[in-house]
Amino acid sequence: MTKSLMVSLVGLLVGIAAGILLIKSEATLPFIKKNVPSKQVVGFLPYWQLDKASQNENKYLTELAYFSVTVGGDGQLVKTIDDQQEEPGWYDLQSDKLTNLLRNAYKNNIKLSLVVASGDTNAINTMVNNPVKHAQTLVKEVAPIMKSDHFTDLNLDIEYTAIASAQERNQFTQFIQTVKKEIDNEKLGTLTLEVTPTDAVKNNLINIPAIANYADTIIVMAYDYHSPSSFVTGPVAPLNGAGIDSEYDVTTAVEKLLQVAPANKVVLGMPLYGYEWETLNTAVRSAIIPGTGILASNNRAESFLTSCASCSAFFDNESQEAFVEYSDPSDQTIHQLSFPNTQSLASKLNFANKEELRGVALWALGYEGDTILSPLLPYKQ
C-alpha cells in the first residue's frame, strides 16, 4: 500500500467517523428542533379580553387561540346578530387590536389557532343532521380567513348540553371526519377539538375514541367544577379530592380521558380565574346565597388580597387552590373566593408532565396577575 493511498484511506475513515459523530451530536442539540417546543402551551384570547391582553404574554405561549367566531346550523359563520349589529366575535376578528396581537405572535413563531364555537343546541342539531355538507361549508367559510391571517389550526368548541342519541354521536363523528378531510385538502393545518371532563365517561355528543382518530389535539376543559350556580363554595379546578371534597377532580378526569385517547394528543385546559360568592357562614364549603356568584380573575383576586387587611386566606393542599374569606362591613355579608395562583399552576404543570400530556391550555389571557404564568417558562422548554 502506497503512502498516498494510506493517507487517503485514513482521511476517508476520519471523515466517516466525523460525520457519524456529527450526526449523533446534532440529534441532541436543542436547535435541531427548529424552534418546535417540546411542550404545547395554548393561550385562549377571548374577544372580550382584547383590551386586557398583552404582547408580553407571548413569551409563555407556543400557540395563541382567538376565541371565537360562531358557526350556525348550516355550517356558515354567524356574522350578524340583527340588521343593526355584527356578531361580536366576528366583529373583533377584523379589529386592529386583534390584528396587531396576531401579527406580533406570528412574528415570534407562535402558532395561531382560530376557534369556531357553538353552544346552541338547535343549531348543533341542524349541523349534525347533514354532517358532510355542513362540514364542507364550514371549512369553505374559514379557509380564506385562516390563509389571510396565518391561522394554522382550526379549533372546534362545540358544547352540546342535551342528551345525544347513538345516531347523533355517529353523525358528529362524521362531521369531524369531514372537517379534517377538508382541512387536509385545503392544506390549512391542524384540527383541535374541545371536550369536557364528562365526555370521557358519558355518552355525550362527542365520542372521544372515535374523534381521536381525526383530531390532532384534544383540549379538556378541566375547570368550572364549582361555578356561580353551585350550591356550596369550592375549588374551580381541584387537582384532587374527588368523592371527598369535590364530586370530580382534574386528576380523575384526565385518567378517564387517557383510557380513550392517547396522551400525546391531550392538552390540559387550566383556568386563570376563580369565583367569589356571598355565603351563609365562614365554613369551608359553605352554602351559597343564590345569584351572588361572580368571576374572580387571578389578577383581581391577588390585587384584592393586597388591599384587604381583614381577609383570611389559605392554600388548600388537596385541591391545590387558594381560598379567601372576608366580611363586608358595609352590609355585614360574608364572602368566599376560590382561585388559582402560581402554586396552583405549577402543580398542574407537574401533573401534565407526569401524565406525559401534549401540553396545557390557559383560559383565558387577560385574567392573569403578575406572577401566575411564571412556571410556564421552564415547562415549555
CA distance 69 to 90: 5
Please tell me the predicted confidence (pLDDT) of residue 151.
Answer: 98
Compute the mean pLDDT over every residue in the chain, rounded to the nearest whole number: 91
Residue 65 CA to chain centroid, in angstroms?
A: 8
pLDDT for 27: 35
What is the tens place of the pLDDT at every residue in 149-203?
Answer: 999 999 999 999 999 999 999 999 999 999 999 999 999 999 999 999 999 999 9
Q: Is the pLDDT confidence value at 342 over 90? A: yes
To 5 degrees, how large is the angle CA 319–CA 323–CA 325? 150
Share of the chain above pLDDT 70, in %: 90
Q: Are strands 63-71 and 77-78 parallel, antiparallel or unpaired?
A: antiparallel
Residue 306 burial (CB < 10 Å; 0-12/13-18/19+)? exposed
* Residue 287: pLDDT over 60: yes
Of 24-33, 79-88, 102-111, least confident by mean pLDDT is: 24-33
Q: Which H or E run includes 279?
A: strand 273-279
- Taking residues 272-297, report their average pLDDT: 96
What's the rounded Cα separation, in Å, for the pair 381 and 371?
18
Domains, the chain, with CATH or none: 35-272+341-379 (3.20.20.80)
What integer pLDDT is reported at residue 243 of this predicted model?
84
- The identity of residue 52, as a single letter, is K
Q: What is the DSSP letter of 369?
A: -
Q: Tally Cβ neighbours within 10 Å of residue 25.
A: 10
DSSP for residue 4: H
Across residues 77-91, what is the average pLDDT?
A: 96
Q: Given this model, what pLDDT does residue 380 score?
A: 87
Cβ count within 10 A of residue 228: 15
Q: CA separation (Å) from 73 to 164, 181, 267?
A: 16, 20, 28
Helix%, strand%, coil% for the chain, nearest 5: 40, 25, 35
- Assign 202 to helix, strand or coil: coil
Tens digits of residue pLDDT in 116-160: 999 999 999 999 999 999 999 999 999 999 999 999 999 999 999
Average pLDDT estimate for 348-353: 98
Helix (H, G, I), strand (E, B) or coil at 134: helix
Identify the pLDDT of residue 78.
98
Residue 26 confidence (pLDDT): 35
User: 104 pLDDT exceeds 50?
Assistant: yes
Q: Any idea what DSSP says for residue 188? A: -
pLDDT beyond 70 at 16? no
pLDDT band at 11 (very low <50, low <70, confident <90, very high): very low
Q: 22-49, pLDDT tens digit by residue? A: 333 333 333 233 344 479 999 999 999 9
At CA 199, angle to CA 379 and CA 362, rounded to 5?
30
Q: Where are the alpha helices (DSSP H) in the chain?
A: 3-26, 88-93, 96-107, 121-129, 131-149, 166-186, 208-211, 250-258, 298-307, 342-354, 376-379
pTM of the model: 0.89
**CA 41/CA 39 separation, integer angstroms:** 6
pLDDT of residue 7: 36
**Average pLDDT of span 299-308:** 94
Residue 369 has pLDDT above 80, yes or no: yes
Q: Could you report the per-residue pLDDT of 55-70, keeping only the tens digit for each?
A: 889 999 999 999 999 9
